[in-house]
Structure 1
C-alpha cells in the first residue's frame, strides 16, 4: 500500500459516513448548504417557451446548433436581428412558431 493511500485509509476508518450524510441532510432541510443561481439567457428562454430542442430551434432560426449553444451558454451574443427575433419569441411564442413554420 502506498504511503498516501495508507494515510487516507486510516483517516477514513475513523469516519462515520452515515452520520455525516444525515448531518448534511439536516443542514439542507434547515435552509443551510450552498445555493446556486442559474441565469437563463434569452435564447434559452425563447427555445424553452417554444418547446423545441436545440437542433430544431437552431434550424428554425437558420443558425447552426453550435451558434445557438454559444448563445445559450453566454459565450457569444446574438446579432441585432437575432436578438429581436428572440425577444419576440419570448413574448409571443405561438406567433413565432406559426409564422416561421409557414416560411
Structure 2
C-alpha cells in the first residue's frame, strides 16, 4: 500500500520518532535485534582476523590478489601451494607471521 503525502503527514503527526529511535537502540544493545542465523567465518578469514590485517594486506603477504583472497574466504576457490602453507601457519601460529611482518 502506497500512502500519499497527506496520509503520510497524518500518520507521522502522532509518532514520537525520538522515542522510537531510543527503543531501537536499546533493543540492539540488549541483543534482541540482530541476525537470526549465525554467520560462519572461513578459517582463512579467521586467520586474517587473528593477524589483524585487511584483505589487501593479507593478500600481499600471501602473494595473491585481494580478489583471489576474497574467493578463498568465501569458499568459491581453494588455495594451493605456498599460500596453503602460509595460511596453515597463520591459523596455527599467527604470532610467527606477525613476527615476519614486524621485521
Place the TM-score, normalised by the shorter chain, in its bin.
Answer: 0.5 to 0.7
The separation in 1 between residues aligned to 2:68 and 2:94, in whole angstroms, is 20
Deviations 1:16-57 (A, max 9, x none): 22232344355456x463232433221221112223232221
Output the TM-score relative to the length of structure 1: 0.65
Gaps of 5+ in 1: none
The separation in 2 between residues aligned to 1:96 and 1:65, in whole angstroms, is 18
Contact 1:71 1:77 in 2 (8 A): yes
SS in 1 for 2:4: helix
The separation in 2 between residues aligned to 1:26 and 1:101, in whole angstroms, is 41
The separation in 2 between residues aligned to 1:28 and 1:93, in whole angstroms, is 33
Contact 1:42 1:87 in 2 (8 A): no
Gaps of 5+ in 2: none
Against the structure 1 CA distance between its residues 28 and 34, is the aligned structure 2 distance closer, same or farther, given a 3 Å change threshold? closer
Counting only pairs closer than 5 Å after superposition, residues 41-60 of structure 1 correspond to structure 2 as: 41-60=42-61
The match for 1:18 is: 18
Please report how far the alpha carbon of residue 64 of structure 1 lies from its aligned counterpart in structure 2 after TM superposition: 0.5
